[in-house]
Amino acid sequence: SYELTQPTSVSVSPGQTARITCSGDALPERFAFWYQHKSGQAPVLVIYEDSKRPSVIPERFSGSRSGTMATLTISGAQVEDEADYYCFSADSSEEHSGVFGGGTKLTVL
Amino acid sequence: QVRLQESGPGLVKPSETLSLTCGVSNFFINSGYFWGWVRQPPGKGLEWIGSVYQTGSAYYNPSLESRVIISIDTSNNRFSLDLRSVTAADTAVYYCAKATIIYTGNYYFDSWGQGTLVAVSS
């Protein structure tokens, strides 16, 4: 099975840049996907295929991947960006490959 | 726009089977996508339970594989989760989701149900 490792928490002031990392041995071969999850709501996809942003997601969200690490960057974080963020990876050719990172609590205060 | 809705009991007794169904609207379930279940225990992170393809082929989280079955019912446009021998540790919000497979074979969940809380308690 695979593992993805994230920091437990990240804290920034409004307007600062928040970076959340996700590391895993499988990442060089697989894309990373990022979800924003607020309490009581369904998760929302904010980045797919490492760095692509759904049209409904603000431009301040971006992603990158290098080697075994993927990074979600929120440039100019807003109070409303405070949430839990999860990276995810899965491959349809591998039976046990679906995995979420442990999640990172982003505090914007 | 695809809509997913979880249904099933909100309370299950220990050692029994947790059964949930995900109804899919505005989208044909046999259109070449994966369909999956994700859960979040109270105070913990998201956990992938498993995914099923339209053919019925299913992939499972190794930590749950011995207790879980995910099946698909293309006639009724829905898929289901059965988790056997539950304990309090299986108490969680359970989400069903639709997954898109990209050109590399990787896939990701792009549409989600609202989630349903299932408590395991006597």
Residue holding tokens 């079955």?
B69
Q: What is the pLDDT of residue B103?
A: 83
Establish if B61 touches chain A: CB-CB under 8 angstroms.
yes
Nearest CA to CA, how far is B105 from chain A (Å)?
A: 5
Contact B21, B78 (CB under 8 A): yes
Q: Determine which of A100, A105, A106 to mutate to test the interface with B (most B C-beta atoms within 10 Å).
A: A100
Question: Which residues lie below 8 Å from residue B26, measured CB to CB, with a gap of 6+?
Answer: B1, B2, B3
Dihedral of the CA atoms B1, A30, A86, A60 (nearest 10)?
A: -70
Structure tokens at B32: 């070449």
Q: What is the mean pLDDT of chain B?
A: 96
A30 to B106: CB separation less than 8 angstroms, yes or no: yes
Nearest CA to CA, how far is B16 from chain A (Å)?
A: 25
Q: What is the pLDDT of residue A79?
A: 97
Structure tokens at B102: 């990209």
Structure tokens at A50: 């490492």
DSSP H or E run through A85: strand A83-89
pLDDT single digits (tens) B46-98: 999 999 999 999 999 999 999 999 999 999 999 999 999 999 999 999 999 99
Minimum-distance CB partner of B47 among A37, A84, A100 = A100
**Pairing label, strands A9-12, A104-108:** parallel
**Pairing label, strands B68-73, B58-60:** unpaired
pLDDT single digits (tens) A27-80: 988 999 999 999 999 999 999 999 999 999 999 999 999 999 999 999 999 999
Q: Determine which of B108, B110, B111, B117 to mutate to test the interface with A (most A C-beta atoms within 10 Å).
A: B108
pLDDT single digits (tens) A68-109: 999 999 999 999 999 999 999 988 888 778 999 999 999 999
Question: Which chain A positions have a beta carbon within 8 Å of B63's beta carbon?
Answer: 1
Establish if B104 touches chain A: CB-CB under 8 angstroms.
yes
Nearest one of A92, A91, A90 to A100, comparing CA atoms: A90
B102 to A98: CB separation less than 8 angstroms, yes or no: no
Establish if A7 touches chain B: CB-CB under 8 angstroms.
no
* Chains A–B, number of C-beta pairs less than 8 Å apart: 81
